[in-house]
Structure 1
Amino acid sequence: MNPFAAEGFWNKAILFINRATEPGEGRSEDERRFWAALSLEQAAKWALAEISPALVVDPQRDGGSQLLQALELKESNKAVTAQASTIFTRCGSALRPFNREEALKIAEARNDYLHGAGVDILLLPNQIWWPRIWSLFNVLLLSGQRTFDDFVGSAMANKIESLLAANKRNLEVHYEALLASAQSRYQRRQSGMASVGENARWEANRRWVSRSYYETEAQCPACERYGIVGSDEAESKSLNLDDPEFPAIEVSFLPDRFFCDECYLILDDYDLIELAGLNKSFGTFSDEDPVAFPEYGND
């Protein structure tokens, strides 16, 4: 049997999530979150392995023997999967709208809980932490045509669906508040009524805005001027030879963040991007060397 086959990861994900959700007071909240975080990694591997077992290995490990083993071209004495950060990054690229950044935060808190002195795994309250991880599970399950019923049983699935529904409404309220606040700021700026302190706060916050590898302009949903959408992941790349003397690499991407310098609106979550109607492909040009692009040739 292929050690990188999806079934093994699925069974392990269920084993860990059962420990996270078992009834009673036998487990503390930090234990429950720890097991849920472990389950998320296994579920991510399952979702990738459903596409191809090769997606869960490090192709460079052991001189490539792990990849050959995943493709059933070679046997090996050990089977080691890629690190969680690599797995979640691949999910972010292949299984949209899987939130890679959110998954990485959960993995980092889990690792610190296990290996460090901190308890960051408990920083967020239950009403925020659990909907976030269930949303990640939901994307993975849907990618493999599974449901929460398959994963945790019908009773627990009903609780999760109710929690996600309530969280969706809370997110909508949060988004509406962000828009209203941005629109109010924009009007004050346009009329010259914005205070020095308000502008200073924006400039301070602006320095902490996470910039993306790929960026382009998009109309702001609050002030209707133009802000910046971005992502670190490309959907596709192609060589643009419209001007043979200056070839360029054209990139399309699905944004996971937005900010506007006109009204100070910041959307730093894919769910907020979706509510804003910005969850579509955008195009830009990469600063990568087109000469190194596979389609480039001098013959």
Structure 2
Amino acid sequence: MTTRNFALAFSPDALMGKSRAYIVRALAAKSRGSLGEYQLWASLALELLGKSALAGIHPCLIADPQSSESLFAAAGMTVGTDLKTITAKTVFERLTHISTRFDKKTQVYCQNMSLKRNAELHSGEAPFEAATLSSWEGRYWHTAEIILETKKLTIETWLGADQAKAPKELLAEYTHAIVEAAKVRIETAREAFSQLSKKARDAAFSKADALRPWEFSRSFHLLADSIWETKCPACGSRAFLAGVKYAEEVSEDLDDEHSDEETVDVFFAAEEFQCPSCGLHLDSRDEIEAAGLDIEHTEIETRQREYEPDYGND
């Protein structure tokens, strides 16, 4: 019997929905202090997230190649009900082909997590109980962010923190996830840049030093009110922040009330960071602050003074 609907086992939406349910269970376990259970549910959520990303390209990418019933179902035809998907190891191998950010280090991290998960479920071992949060959580959120990026989604939408009625605990976890992912992204950029030859690093620094802020404006997603210089937290290069204006006030220290001009302090808040040397990109205030960068920026402008019109003197 032929059908146009793919079996739920291979549906990108169904896999994403289940992944979301599991990450919510994971965070609930974390809030109870059950850190072993937290990592168990998180590992299951990550594998399902990876399968959803692959199935979004084509469901056949997650069908067990040894199962003809599964291959037919993934192609849209039902010939049986014994449906099987690929192993976690294969999922993480295939993800390296759809994102350049899903590198070997990330792949090995995911495979190690799935091996611990299997040991947790199928043996007397309890590998998750001995793991500290600092040993896995930051790279977990970084990895989830990479996979979500292939689906044009964010950690915020995955956790449901973008919903108006999202609980405060979930919003707090979202902020924590963003910060941890940003820290690992900085570390990854630092490692990649350090592996370049000295000649290549020096050339990148020289190119960055020659750039003017406005020349780099097209590299930002944000339609910024101002772009200013900063130092890259990953490679130390000259880099740039883009931000929006949020306030301004006449500078009392520099203002001459007898002049036709006035000096104004204009205040900006950074919302995006780009490094032209190592390619590090941070696209939120939370990420920028996690990098240890100051989001506040002030510029001084000199303007023609505006006078209030006189009333009642005619």
TM-score tier, shorter chain, comes to 0.5 to 0.7
Deviation at 1:173, TM superposition (A): 10
Q: Which segments of 5 or more consecutive residues in structure 2 lack a partner in the other structure?
A: 162-170, 202-276, 280-314
Map 1:197-276; keep pairs closer than 5 Å. Answer: 220=197
1:260-292 deviation digits (Å, cap 9, x = unpaired): xxxxxxxxxxxxxxxx969xxxxxxxxxxxxxx
Taking only aligned residues, the RMSD between alpha carbons, in angstroms, comes to 3.3
Deviation at 1:27, TM superposition (A): 5.1
- Asked whether the equivalents of residues 106 and 121 of structure 1 are also in contact (C-alpha less than 8 Å), the reply is no
Of 74-83 and 106-115, more deviation after overlay is shown by 74-83
1:157 aligns with 2:157: no
Deviation at 1:26, TM superposition (A): 3.0
1:76-106 deviation digits (Å, cap 9, x = unpaired): 2232111111111111222332222111011
1:54 aligns with 2:60: yes
Deviation at 1:157, TM superposition (A): 2.1
Pick the aligned partner of 1:143 from 142, 146, 150: 150
Specify whether residues 174 and 277 from structure 1 end up closer, same or farther in structure 2 by C-alpha distance, changes over 3 A only. closer
Between the aligned partners of 2:191 and 2:147, the Cα distance in structure 1 is 25
**Matched residues, number:** 188
1:190-231 deviation digits (Å, cap 9, x = unpaired): xxxxxxxxxxxxxxxxxxxxxxxxxxxx9645999xxxxxxx
Specify whether residues 73 and 27 from structure 1 end up closer, same or farther in structure 2 by C-alpha distance, changes over 3 A only. same
Tell me the equivalent position of 1:132. 139
Q: Which runs of 4+ in 1 moved over 6 A?
A: none
Deviation at 1:141, TM superposition (A): 0.6
Specify whether residues 60 and 175 from structure 1 end up closer, same or farther in structure 2 by C-alpha distance, changes over 3 A only. closer
Helix, strand or coil for the counterpart of 1:120?
coil
- Asked whether the equivalents of residues 17 and 36 of structure 1 are also in contact (C-alpha less than 8 Å), the reply is yes
Between the aligned partners of 2:28 and 2:41, the Cα distance in structure 1 is 11
- Asked whether the equivalents of residues 101 and 146 of structure 2 are also in contact (C-alpha less than 8 Å), the reply is yes
Q: Which segments of 5 or more consecutive residues in structure 1 lack a partner in the other structure?
A: 180-217, 225-275, 279-299
Helix, strand or coil for the counterpart of 2:128?
helix
Between the aligned partners of 2:82 and 2:188, the Cα distance in structure 1 is 47
1:231-253 deviation digits (Å, cap 9, x = unpaired): xxxxxxxxxxxxxxxxxxxxxxx
Map 1:1-299; keep pairs closer than 5 Å. Answer: 1-3=5-7, 4-22=10-28, 25-26=31-32, 28-61=34-67, 64-98=68-102, 99-154=106-161, 155=171, 156-169=173-186, 171=187, 175=191, 220=197
- Asked whether the equivalents of residues 54 and 62 of structure 2 are also in contact (C-alpha less than 8 Å), the reply is yes
| TM superposition score normalised by structure 2 | 0.52
Task: Look at both structures and tell me which one has the larger radius of gyration over its CA atoms.
Answer: 2
Calculate percent identity across the aligned residue pairs: 22
Letter in 2 for 1:161: I
Letter in 2 for 1:110: R
Specify whether residues 164 and 94 from structure 1 end up closer, same or farther in structure 2 by C-alpha distance, changes over 3 A only. closer
